[in-house]
Structure 1
Amino acid sequence: MLTDGNAGRARILFAHGAGAPMDSDFMADVAQRLASDDIEVVRFEFPYMQKRREDGKRRPPDRQPKLLEHFQHLIAANSQDDIPLYLAGKSMGGRMATMLADLPEVSGCFVFGYPFYAPGKQDKPRTEHLQTTTGSISIFQGTRDPMGKQAVVCDYALAGGIELHWLEDGDHDLKPRKASGLTQQQHLEYAVARCQQICLSTTL
C-alpha cells in the first residue's frame, strides 16, 4: 500500500483500474492532489496486481468476488469511528467501490472514469447495482469516454444518491483533446476539489 496525507478528518481508500498499478501516473497524480493534512489517501492493489508486481507477468483481473473480498478486508482494516472512510477508484476499481458504497462503514464513494460498458458493448451496461444503491456516489466522467459517453449514460435510470460530473471532451482518463482548449489538469483539479469538499463537509 501507499499512503499520502494525514487522516485528520477523513480517509480515502483508492483502488486502481484493471491494467495499471497503484503507482501509475494517474493514480499517483490524483492521490497526491487529494491528500492533505486533513485527508489521508491509501492506495492499494488487488491480488492479481500484487502477483504481477512480484513476477512481472501481466494477468487479467481477479474475478469480481475476489476483488470485492479484498476491498472489504481493507475497509474493515481502515475503519475508525471518528474518521469518515471514503472509497475511490479508477475505472474497474471505481466500479468495485460503488458495489460497496452501501456498507455502513462507508461515508461516500468517488469514481474517476466509470466503465459503464465495455468498449463497443453499449448493449451490456454495468449499471444494475447503480439503480438501487443507497450510497453517496460521485462519478467524474469524460463526455467522450469510450466506456461511458454522455449521450449514452444520460439515458440510464440511476439511483438518486449518484452525482454525475461531466468533464467536457474528456476520455477514460479524463483527458481532453488539445483542440478543446481544456486540459486534463483542469479536469482533475475540478474533480479533486469536489472530492475534498465532500470529505471535509461531513466532519464540520
Structure 2
Amino acid sequence: MNKNTWLPSAGFYDVPKIAMVIAHGAGAPADSDYMEQLIMALDDVGISSVRFEFPYMQERRADGRKRPPDRQPGLLDSFALALKRAKDELPPDCFVMAGGKSMGGRMASLLAQSANIGKSSDPGFNSNLFKSNPIDGVVCYGYPFHPPGKLDRWRTEHLADITCPLLIVQGTRDPFGKPAELETQSAALANCELRWLEGGNHDFQPLARQPETQNDLIRQAAQLTRQFAVRTIAER
C-alpha cells in the first residue's frame, strides 16, 4: 500500500489505547469528505485509526477509471492484511476494532464471522490471514442490510455467527436499512448493538429542517463508538 492508501490518523503512532482499522464504502475512496470527518471525530473522542483502500479503489486512484469492487474473497484478504499491518504497528495491549462505511463495514463483519466459526461464508477467502490477528470488536457505519428497495435480498445471515462485540450505527432514513424494515431481522441482530441517528441517510446527512448537520451526526456516531469500546473493555 502506498502513502495515499494507508492513512493513519494523527494519534495512530502515539501509543493509543483504542484504535480502529477502517475500510471505505463501495463508491468513495478512503479520503472522501465523509471519511475525513469520521476520522477527525473519532480522534476527538480518543480513538486512533488507520484507513486503507481495497485494490480496485487503488487502481481507480491510479488511472481515474471507475470500476466495481473486487470479489468478496479479495476484499476480505485485503482487509485481513491491513489488520495485520495495523496490529504490527500498534501496542500489543491496544483495543483494536475493525470497522468501515457501508461495504467496508460489511467486510469487517464477515471477517469477524470467519474468526468465530473458523471459516468464512465465502469459500474463496484465505482465513489463515486473519486467525493470528483477531479483532476486539466491529463497528459498521451505515450497514448495507439490503440493496435499496430490495427487501428480499438481506445481508444479515452471517451476523448471528459473530461473537465479538458488534456495533452498527445507522441513519433512520438509510435506504439500505430503515427501522421498520429491520423488525423482521431480530434473530440475525440478536448479538448486535444497533444505534440509530435520527434523520440520517446513508452518509448520515440529516433532513434540511433538522438543526443538526452531517458533521453533528458523524460526531454522534463517534461518541457511540467510544461508549461501545469503553463498555466492551470494562466487560472483558
Question: Do both proteins adopt the same fold according to a TM-score greater than 0.5, normalized to the shorter chain?
Answer: yes
Q: Where does residue 127 of structure 2 map in the other structure?
A: none
Q: Deviations over 1:4-39 (max 9, x none)?
A: 123420221010000000000000110111125953
Whether the 8 Å CA contact 1:119–1:146 is kept in 2: the answer is yes
Q: Residue 163 of structure 2 aligns to a residue in which SS?
A: coil
Structure 1 pair 37–115 and aligned structure 2 pair: CA distance change class (3 A)? closer
Are residues 134 and 66 of structure 1, via their aligned partners in 2, closer, same or farther at CA, if it must alter by over 3 Å?
same
Letter in 2 for 1:199: A
Amino acid at match of 1:95: R
Q: Matched residues in 2 for 1:35 and 1:13: separation?
A: 13
2:191 equivalent to 1:161:
yes
State the 1:182 CA deviation.
Answer: 3.6
Q: Which runs of 5+ in 1 are unaligned?
A: none
- The aligned residue for residue 109 of structure 1 is 138
Q: Which residue pairs with 1:3 in the alignment?
A: 8
| Equivalent position to 2:47, from 31, 39, 42 | 39
CA distance in 1, matches of 2:198, 2:46: 30
User: Do 1:8 and 1:37's aligned partners in 2 also have CA atoms closer than 8 Å?
Assistant: no
Number of the residue aligned with 2:181: 152
Structure 1 match to 2:125 = none
* Structure-1-length-normalised TM-score: 0.92
| Residue number in structure 1 paired with 2:161 | 132
Shift of 1:41: 0.7
CA gap 1:182/1:40 in 2 versus in 1, 3 angstroms:
closer
CA distance in 2, matches of 1:178, 1:158: 33
C-alpha distance in structure 1 between counterparts of 2:199 and 2:47, whole Å: 29
Query: d(CA) in 2 for partners of 1:115 and 1:190?
Result: 20
CA contact (8 A) 1:114 1:147 kept: yes
d(CA) in 1 for partners of 2:170 and 2:231? 23
Structure 1 residue 181: deviation in Å? 3.9
Deviations, residues 74-94 of structure 1 (Å, cap 9, x unaligned) = 122222531121011000001
Residue type of the alignment partner of 2:228: I
For the pair 1:177 / 2:207, whether they are aligned, the reply is yes
- Alignment RMSD: 1.9
**Which residue number corresponds to residue 228 of structure 2?**
198
Distance 1:112 1:143, change over 3 A: same
Aligned counterparts of 1:170 and 1:99: Cα–Cα separation in 2: 25
Q: Which TM-score applies when normalising by structure 2?
A: 0.80
* AA of the residue aligned to 1:93: G
Aligned length: 204
Matched to 1:112, the amino acid is Y
Number of the residue aligned with 1:82: 93
Superposed CA deviations along residues 152-199 of structure 1, whole A, max 9, x for unmatched, are: 012202243311001112111111112244432332222101212333
Kept in 1, the 8 Å contact 2:37–2:215? The answer is no
| SS of equivalent residue, structure 2 residue 8 | strand
The answer as to whether partners of 2:197 and 2:204 remain within 8 angstroms in 1 is: yes
Contact 2:45 2:226 in 1 (8 A): no
